[in-house]
Amino acid sequence: MNQNNTIFKIIIGVVVALLLVGIVLGTLAYINGKDNTDNTNETTDTDITESSTGDVETTDISDGGTQLLHSGKVYAMPKLMTFTQVSALSRTASEGITVNATVKPDTAVNKNVTWQVAWENPNESFASGKTATDYISVTPLAAGSSTATITCLQPFGSTIQVSVISESNPGVYAILTVDYEKRVEDVSGITTNEDYYFDGTTLYLDDTSGWSYLDANYSDNWDLAYTYGVGSVDSSSVSSTSFYIKASDELAAAYSGAATDYVSIKDNRNDLLEKGLGVTLFRTMEDKTKEPFEDLQEDGSVILSYPTISVFNAIQWNNIVSAFSGLEGHAFDMKVVITTQSGNVSEVIIPIYIDTDSVGAQVASITVDQTNIVV
């Protein structure tokens, strides 16, 4: 054998070996659903391929966790999608979510697909007797298209499957599981740890001891009971609650200065009333009924000062009492913003009524006769 033929055969052998290595690596990457492209949600597509076990490989992308999806964009079809709001009410995806599944290989003669919506378990109590397409709709971009828009029409309490199926080979398909997270729909049972309480949505104030300086210095919290709506996924526990208050239209008309827009409040009586009415119920003043004390000034001088006391602003309060007494409806609108551990945010508006029998005028002044008596 001449030297040239030997060198040629060696080169051919190396080329064949490199091709085999490339094929093996490419096959492994294909099986594992990995390649060297940017695997972001907007550029990676779900493959519709049949594995050796008959299972379908999909990417693990969810819109119910950390990513906020938007209408008008095309996302890779994930294996799980969790709606936290009906599409029509969504702030970012009112037109639904558009997803795309890639049919492989690219050389397939017929790459058309059909889309199907069905209950994962039609025997569950919520799903029984109901039609899945009344809750989730799928609209393909065109007949046979692997791109479609998924829309949530109303809350649902059982898991729904969206299947994309090959027209030419129905044994090849991919499944997207769709859930709906329960939302807080109502708040009730507000209880307090102070000398006032809520009965439903009616606020009862202390009418026995009246208001005193002690009322300005306390910490409080409101315990709330939550009512959840329909959902196939439990929204877990509430992680934080924020409160906002504004006067009702009727109260705002009766008391000038009342808040007409929502303002943030703490969960206590003083903040509710002060922020809702735009007043300061307590002020600090000198208590001249107590003995004065020597107060050292920065310049070294000494002056006599009196202890301070927190005083209830009875004049303002008595005007408020007059406004409350004429109300026919509720006094305040309280907005409660609830955030669950999963990040789902719900808003509930609670009308706050005032029990006028528990609200009374407070002492505003004590006067003495201006005459002098010599004894």
Q: What are residue 5's phi and psi, to 5 degrees? A: -65, -35
- Are 347 and 337 in contact by the 8 Å Cβ rule? The answer is yes
Whats the size of the chain, residue-wise?
A: 375
3-state helix, strand, coil in the chain (%, to 5): 20, 35, 50
Cα dihedral 163, 168, 170, 173 sign: negative
Residue 99: predicted pLDDT: 95
Tell whether pTM > 0.75: no
- Are 312 and 270 in contact by the 8 Å Cβ rule? The answer is no
- DSSP notation for 82-98: EESS-GGG-SS-TT-EE
- How far apart are the C-alpha atoms of 81 and 69, rounded to whole Å? 10
In which residue are the tokens 């009906």 written? 86
- How far apart are the C-alpha atoms of 10 and 4, rounded to whole Å? 10
Residue 290: predicted pLDDT: 92
Per residue in 43-98, pLDDT tens? Answer: 334 445 433 223 322 222 234 455 677 888 999 998 889 888 899 988 888 999 99
Token readout for 203 is 């606020």
Q: Look at strands 293-296 and 223-228 and give their pairing.
A: unpaired
Find all residues with CB under 8 Å of 10, minimum gap 6, and list them: none
In angstroms, the Cα distances linking 236 to 61, 67, 226 are 21, 19, 12
Q: Which residues of 203-240 are buried (b: 16+ CB within 10 A; e: fewer)?
A: bbbbeeeebeeebeeeeeebebebeeeebbbebeebee
- How far apart are the C-alpha atoms of 178 and 175, rounded to whole Å? 10
- Are 167 and 112 in contact by the 8 Å Cβ rule? The answer is yes
- How far apart are the C-alpha atoms of 71 and 80, rounded to whole Å? 17
Q: Look at strands 80-83 and 173-180 and give their pairing.
A: parallel
pLDDT by residue for the chain (375 residues), tens only, comes to 444 444 444 434 433 443 433 433 333 333 233 333 333 333 334 445 433 223 322 222 234 455 677 888 999 998 889 888 899 988 888 999 999 998 999 999 999 999 999 999 999 999 999 999 999 999 999 999 999 999 999 999 999 999 999 999 999 999 999 999 888 877 876 777 666 778 778 888 865 556 666 665 555 678 788 888 888 887 556 788 899 999 999 999 999 999 999 999 988 888 899 999 999 988 888 999 999 998 888 898 999 999 998 888 889 999 999 999 989 999 999 999 988 777 778 888 989 999 988 888 888 889 989 899 998
